[in-house]
Amino acid sequence: MPWYSDFESICRFDVPLSQLTSFRIGGPARFVLGPRSHAELADVIRCCRDNQVNWRVLGRGANVLASDAGFDGAIVRLSGAQFSTIDIDRTADSCRLRAGGGADLGACVRAAVRGGLEGLEGLAGIPATIGGALRMNAGGRFGQIGAAVSRVLVMHPGGRLQWLDRARAAFGYRTSSLGDYLVLAGEFDLLEEEPKVLLDRYRQVWIYKRQHQPVTQRSAGCIFRNPAGNSAGRLVEQAGCKGLRCGGASVSHLHANFIVAEDGCTAADVLALIRTIKQRVLDQAGLQLRTEIEVWDEPTAEADHKRSCA
């Protein structure tokens, strides 16, 4: 019997990762599993391990460059009801929003704004699930999710559940300790505020984003981390890379820390462009940029290194 025989009803086969990532790049994932409950998730992970099947969790795929070769293993998506609920709980002296790890961050932000809960509105427009956003400490100039969350429910690799408080999650600039676990849920203790006030802030964040970032194009958000005290976008622009192109990948004219993909764009195109940008910034500013996105299975084929950008 195949290893996935217990999971036939939640398993799909040979699913293009281009359908699961915001770049819309990536070859087929051998298996895509959507466990419906914490127990089923623990079973799936155990089964993958017992059968030496590589596995990865994928949220909205908004910060990932998947390989053109695809992924020879199991992609786990927390899509079932237990992972996607968003609840607001009010008592006389507290307001709490609890969201599953697979819940859409945008839906959480809107629920908080509508419900008059302050603290998430600065995260408007960030494409992510709660799990992915917490793991990466998603955010920007209007706030970071790590500053708003109070507790995170995680599953240890062996299946044990535990609530971690914010300090244990060790949030830093686009980092946390949560990569060691599976993120099942987050709890946010928020303050009350007039929904109208929150809606105004929410709209301002969106207006800013639309003016400064290519939000309607295929991308994975910012490609590089900002070096300490500097801006990757500014450095890339100053190195003359705006509009630079490699195959179907090009540097956004709106914000130079975004690479946008056109039809036919491959991961190899994006990787070649990243290498060229890094070299130009190194040559001109003496700084080594580091990618912020997760690159899955970077190809090392020699041919790939010879690609050129124009």
Taking the complex as a whole, the smallest distance from the CB of residue 248 to ligand EPU amounts, in Å, to 20
Q: Virtual CA dihedral for 294, 298, 304, 309, nearest 10 degrees?
A: 10
Nearest Cα residue to 55 out of 39, 63, 43: 43
User: Taking CB under 6 A as the rule, which mask of x and - marks residues 202-221 in contact with ligand EPU?
Assistant: ----------x--------x
Q: Which long-range contacts (CB under 8 A, 24 or more apart) does 211-217 make?
A: 212/254, 212/255, 213/252, 213/254, 213/255, 213/258, 214/252, 214/254, 214/255, 214/258, 214/260, 215/125, 217/252, 217/258, 217/260, 217/261
Nearer to ligand EPU, 69 or 254 (CB): 254
CA distance to 71, 193, 305, per residue, from 299 (Å):
12, 49, 9
Our finding on whether 68 is near ligand EPU (CB under 6 A) is no
Nearer to ligand EPU, 112 or 126 (CB): 126
**Which of 58, 95, 149, 256 lies at the binding interface for ligand EPU (CB under 6 A)?**
256
Taking the complex as a whole, the smallest distance from the CB of residue 245 to ligand EPU amounts, in Å, to 16
User: Taking CB under 6 A as the rule, which mask of x and - marks residues 227-246 in contact with ligand EPU?
Assistant: ----xxxx--x---------
Place of tokens 């999650």: 169
Taking the complex as a whole, the smallest distance from the CB of residue 103 to ligand EPU amounts, in Å, to 19
H-helix or E-strand containing 14?
strand 11-16
Number of residues that bind ligand EPU (CB under 6 A): 17
Our finding on whether 280 is near ligand EPU (CB under 6 A) is no
Our finding on whether 114 is near ligand EPU (CB under 6 A) is no
In DSSP terms, 149 is beta-bridged to: none
Nearer to ligand EPU, 89 or 200 (CB): 200
H-helix or E-strand containing 147?
helix 145-148
Interface with ligand EPU in residues 129-168 (CB under 6 A): 140-142
How many CB atoms are closer than 10 A to CB 21? Answer: 23
Residue of this chain nearest to ligand EPU (CB atom)? 140
Our finding on whether 222 is near ligand EPU (CB under 6 A) is yes
Give the residues lining the site for ligand EPU (CB under 6 A): 140-142, 212, 221-222, 225-226, 231-234, 237, 255-257, 292
